[in-house]
A and B are shown apart, each in its own frame.
Chain A
Amino acid sequence: MQTNKITSIIYYSLFFLLGSFFSYSFFILMLNNNLKIAEKISIGFDPSNLLSIIITLLLALYITRKLDKKTTENRVEKDILIDDIKQFKYKFYKEIHDILNSKKILYIEVVAKLKTIRMRFQSINKILKKYGYDMDNNRIAKLDENIRDIKDLLTETPKTKDKKQIIVNNGELSFGTKRREDIEIALDDISSKIFELIVQINKF
């Protein structure tokens, strides 16, 4: 709301300055060309002048309102999108921490949670692309890669039994300390990328 008031003030000031500029220019032009105002000024009512003033005023009001409306619509669109991303981030972090806080959890349960997370991000991704928010640095694609990395860290067991950082036994999954740390680091990385994405949307 504050931004809208500022925008309106800017527009009104701009129109005022433009008006002043043209009046001043006209005055200077008159002086330089030795133009003189008739000694006897006739005071009369000219309907065409009045109509011109009214149309100019109405146009100024219309343009200002139209631009204000557009600005408001863009802000609402951004707010909804940002809110969506924040909700995604909250659910994503909650799910991953729930997984990490369980001593043992079913492998298929983890996989199902990750499917929901990635599908949710996929739909956000589509909206961001549809409205053209992914202009700089391909941030969304990078974020998508990071989310896939988390999936790998949570569900990729080694081909050999050498490494014990992720173990699946009877369909139950458990993680070693190193793997947990790697997941936390990956989560931090995602958090900063989401922050950058929100900043980018706000600047757009």
Chain B
Amino acid sequence: MDSQVKKKLNMQKLLAPLALIILYVFFSIFGNNFFSVDTLKNILESSYYIGFMAFGVTFVIITGGIDLSIGTVMMCSALIGAYVFKQLNWPLTIALFVTVGVGAMFGLVNGLLIAKLELPPFIATLGTMMMSQGFGSIITKVQSQTWPTATAEIGSWFKKVFIRNTFYIGQTKFSGFPVGAFWLLAFFIIGALLLHNTKFGRYTFAIGSNEEAARLSGINVSKWKVLVYTVCGIFAGLGGIFYAAAYTTITPGTGNGQELNAIAGVVIGGTSMAGGSGTMVGTLIGIFIMSVLKNGLSACGLQAPWQTFFTGAVVIGAVLLDIQRTKAANRVKKS
């Protein structure tokens, strides 16, 4: 009996990857030229920056918190990075560090507001969401900023390193190879190790399961919370780099709503908004489900409003699944 139940639970864990595969096959059959290398690249490239944000916010959501500021922080980081590179003529490598630094700074502010000043995460990050949006516009004087293109005189390596590159292995030419996928994979592994194999990760889960119990068992909850939000901010800054690599031009005053894409990806991946449970691999699958859906629906000729509509439906479906899963798990515990 026990092993049977365990099997069932594993089956349910497979549902998210299964849904991803079914969606992909479905759109390959019905979409206009969906099953192609080009489309696969598009799916990958449009998920990089959401992926980074989602990795970061996974930690926050597991602690039972929320970070609404990641979308605008991402844009703010990318704006300021481009600003120091283009307007102040700082070297591109420094600009990249500035980009991540701005993200880390806002993450730290979030952490301090929430852990030390005990603001509710929703309110604190709502505030920093607006502040980061304004901050980016103020620094750049509401001018859109551009990162170097692949043919730029200075910094043409930016796109080649972070998004796609053409190179030769022996005689074979790899045209427009999506190198960004390796970065996403690398940071996925870092994120997964951090979450599942370190003290930091264990405390993240502990805080999310029962904050009071964590405190009583001697965990310095506020210190680790500050760290969690800072990590989230760093990931948002990294997202800024990949957003810049994919879209080059950063417009001040944008970024609102991007955080919800990332949070939706996390939720689709089975992380509970109540905190205490979740996986990094779930988040990775969640963002790919959204990306496949987006690209697939437009390959079927359905315009943007339809994509938003169906993404919403999937979020609801995923949470329904999650509720079923939790119920099943609770039954196992009781028996």
Chain A partners chain B? no
